[in-house]
Amino acid sequence: MGKRQREQHRHDTSVVIVGSGFSGLGTAIRLKKEGVHDFVLLEKSDDLGGTWRDNTYPGCACDVPSLMYSFSFEQNPDWSRMFAEQGEIEEYLRRCVDKHGVHEHIHYGVEFTGAEWDEDGHEWHVSTADGTEYVARALVSGLGALHIPNYPELPGLERFQGESFHSADWNHDYDLTDKRVAVVGTGASAIQFVPKVAEEVSKLNLFQRTPPWIQPKPDRPLSERVQRAFRRVPLLQRAVRFAIYMTLEFRSVAVLREPRLQRISQWMAKRFIRKQVHDRKTREAVTPDYAMGCKRILLSSDFYPALNQSNVELNTSGVTEVRENSVVDGEGVEHPVDAIIFGTGFHVTDAFDHLSIVGRGGRKLQDAWKDGMEAHKGITVSGFPNLYFLLGPNTGLGHNSVVFMIECQINYVLSILRPMLRGEFTQADVRQSAQNEFNSRIQSRLKGAVWSAGGCQSWYLDENGVNRTLWPGFTWNYWWQTRKADPKDYEIQRAGAR
Ligand SMILES: Cc1cc2nc3c(=O)[nH]c(=O)nc-3n(C[C@H](O)[C@H](O)[C@H](O)COP(=O)(O)OP(=O)(O)OC[C@H]3O[C@@H](n4cnc5c(N)ncnc54)[C@H](O)[C@@H]3O)c2cc1C
């Protein structure tokens, strides 16, 4: 491409945000609220919504009560249920975007492929798959931690003649009625769609590697009266939200930290299995042999009953081979199937591997993260100034709403962007010492914690067995630490100094 062509494909702006899920949209809305309108939001898909656009499988819903799983600055009194379903959450995000005029900032169908820090200009040169270059003073990544579907490597899968798809890419054109279906995986998505699929198909072979701990889901409709009360007295809704927040914090941290409470919770979950699963062998197969909390604790009141259905067969020996019209289990038994549905989760700790992000001194993000991904407060990485990760390393949650964490991060980012956009400085690079100190504190808290010592393998851990995904503790602690960036933690280059 010649210089002129490149200039035609160049778009200058103050801030580039990537991703239109809760993270990207939350940042965009907060910028608008602060009176910043010079920003662009890049979204590779042709629609907004992130997780809640992609995951349209039957039964898809949040597993943190909606009153908490939503923006604190955009509360919705009209949630129809305690745990809203996918469509309602997507609609909620759409309403937020409409209300705050964010649409005009979103560039759809533009895939972010990387960015290079200009050390003289103190700008990010953002590259995209369609060749357009965006030049911005700050770059905010809201790429999402759970958006690249993970397909297991099954020998022979390429030969399969039937239909196969991932839960995050559901084929709604494929009619499951009376089909023989293999479902691989029993994670958070699978336990939501298995009961729905089981109602339609003639046979469902469910392949489970590790059983999750499951607790009853206290879901119920929210009546018109409750909605009216929330509408009339917003403070009431805030109070309920706060009560949910505190309950989730205490319940889970208690389970994770207090062995006696953990034993009680496990006992209750086993009692739940005994009550819901009729067959003794199935009961044994779905009873985890690792400590509760090691993997994400799931909520469902209809998964276990689905296993009682005569057309549902639970298989724990694994899939060893896929043939043209069947799957072969670990005992060599061939199961004829018309379709395979993967409920096998997402790429988490390697989600940035395909991007080319180059910081100061030509250093690549992959090199900075060669021993594992880490960031200061999970947000900024030394050597990559003015770049902010939302839901970055060690800021995911297994027990409460990640929207809470996202909001903390947006607050933190804004505390740097405000003075930067006022022109007080042009570069804020977190000091390596601050980043190291933060991460050694995190990792020492994680040492011996249930996620690594609980006797399970989970997507919380990277290939070295290090937890790079979860925040290890109360989230109010995170809120406290991210109220405002500490200038001491940053090497700040003031405008005019260069
Ligand atoms: C089925 C499901 C249920 C969940 N339920 C809960 C729950 O109940 N509670 C909870 O706390 N968490 C839940 N989560 C976690 C959920 O991912 C987060 O809550 C939240 O939606 C993450 O928002 P995000 O904006 O960070 O990422 P996402 O929602 O994943 O959005 C990322 C966006 O970035 C876009 N994007 C990605 N790469 C690029 C690129 N290179 N260029 C341009 N655009 C790009 C994607 O298309 C997407 O639109 C759930 C996750 C799943 C999958």
| 383 CB within 6 A, ligand 1 | no
pLDDT, average across residues 228-245: 97
Is the Cβ–Cβ distance between 73 and 90 less than 8 Å?
no
Best CA proximity match to 459, nearest among 348, 299, 342: 348
| 485 CB within 6 A, ligand 1 | no
Write the pLDDT tens digit of every residue in 112-128.
999 999 999 999 999 99
Please determine whether the domains at 3-148+347-494 and 157-220+266-342 fall in the same fold group of CATH: yes
Write the pLDDT tens digit of every residue in 89-106.
999 999 999 999 999 999
CA 337 to centroid of ligand 1, rounded, Å: 31
Report the greatest alpha carbon distance in the chain. 74
Q: What is the pLDDT of residue 257?
A: 72
Beta bridge mates, 462: none
Write the pLDDT tens digit of every residue in 35-67.
999 999 999 999 999 999 999 999 999 999 999
DSSP code, position 213: P
Distances (CA, A) of 18 to 39, 144, 195, 389, 482: 11, 9, 35, 10, 21
Question: Which CATH code for domain 3-148+347-494?
Answer: 3.50.50.60
CATH topology of domain 157-220+266-342: FAD/NAD(P)-binding domain (3.50.50)
Those residues whose C-beta lies under 8 Å from the C-beta of residue 266, and which sit 6 or more positions away, are: 213, 291, 292
pLDDT, average across residues 1-30: 84
| 69 CB within 6 A, ligand 1 | yes
Q: What is the pLDDT of residue 444?
A: 86
CA 237 to centroid of ligand 1, rounded, Å: 25
| 59 CB within 6 A, ligand 1 | no
CA 120 to centroid of ligand 1, rounded, Å: 34
Domain limits, the chain:
3-148+347-494, 157-220+266-342
| Res 2 pLDDT > 50 | no
Q: How far, in Å, CA of 490 to CA of 246, rounded?
A: 33
Which of 86-90, 193-197, 432-436, 458-462 is predicted with the least confidence, judged by mean pLDDT? 458-462
Residue 260 vs residue 228, higher pLDDT: 228
pLDDT, average across residues 185-208: 97
Q: What is the pLDDT of residue 258?
A: 75
Among 29, 42, 51, 296, the mutation site with the greatest number of ligand 1 atoms within 8 A of its Cβ is 51
| 451 CB within 6 A, ligand 1 | no
Instruction: Specify the DSSP element, H or E, that contains 184.
Output: strand 180-184
Q: Work out the number of other CB atoms within 10 angstroms of the CB of residue 259.
A: 11
| 150 CB within 6 A, ligand 1 | no
Q: Which residues of 328-364 are buried (b: 16+ CB within 10 A; e: fewer)?
A: bbeeeeebebbbbbbbbbbbbbebbeebebbbeeebb
Angle made by CA atoms 17, 409, 67, in degrees to the nearest 5 = 100
Distances (CA, A) of 297 to 29, 64, 186, 196, 252: 32, 11, 12, 21, 9
Q: How far, in Å, CA of 72 to CA of 17, rounded?
A: 20
| Res 351 pLDDT > 90 | no
| Res 342 pLDDT > 80 | yes
Q: Work out the number of other CB atoms within 10 angstroms of the CB of residue 3.
A: 7
Is the Cβ–Cβ distance between 360 and 119 less than 8 Å?
yes
| Res 498 pLDDT > 80 | no
Among 62, 146, 391, 410, the mutation site with the greatest number of ligand 1 atoms within 8 A of its Cβ is 146
| Res 495 pLDDT > 70 | no
| 58 CB within 6 A, ligand 1 | no
Which of 169-173, 289-293, 425-429, 473-477 is predicted with the least confidence, judged by mean pLDDT? 289-293
Beta bridge mates, 425: 494
Residue 458 vs residue 228, higher pLDDT: 228
Q: Considering Cα of 218, then 290, then 277, then 342, what sign does the dihedral take?
A: positive
Atom number, ligand 1, closest to the C-alpha of residue 26: 25
| 412 CB within 6 A, ligand 1 | no
pTM value?
Answer: 0.94
Angle made by CA atoms 493, 494, 498, in degrees to the nearest 5 = 75
Dihedral (Cα; 221, 226, 227, 229), 10-degree rounding: -170
Best CA proximity match to 59, nearest among 149, 167, 152, 164: 167
| 296 CB within 6 A, ligand 1 | no
| 219 CB within 6 A, ligand 1 | no
CA 249 to centroid of ligand 1, rounded, Å: 22
Tokens 């979204």 correspond to: 43
Amino acid occupying residue 70: S
Q: What is the pLDDT of residue 349?
A: 61
| 212 CB within 6 A, ligand 1 | no
- 3 state DSSP class of 357: strand
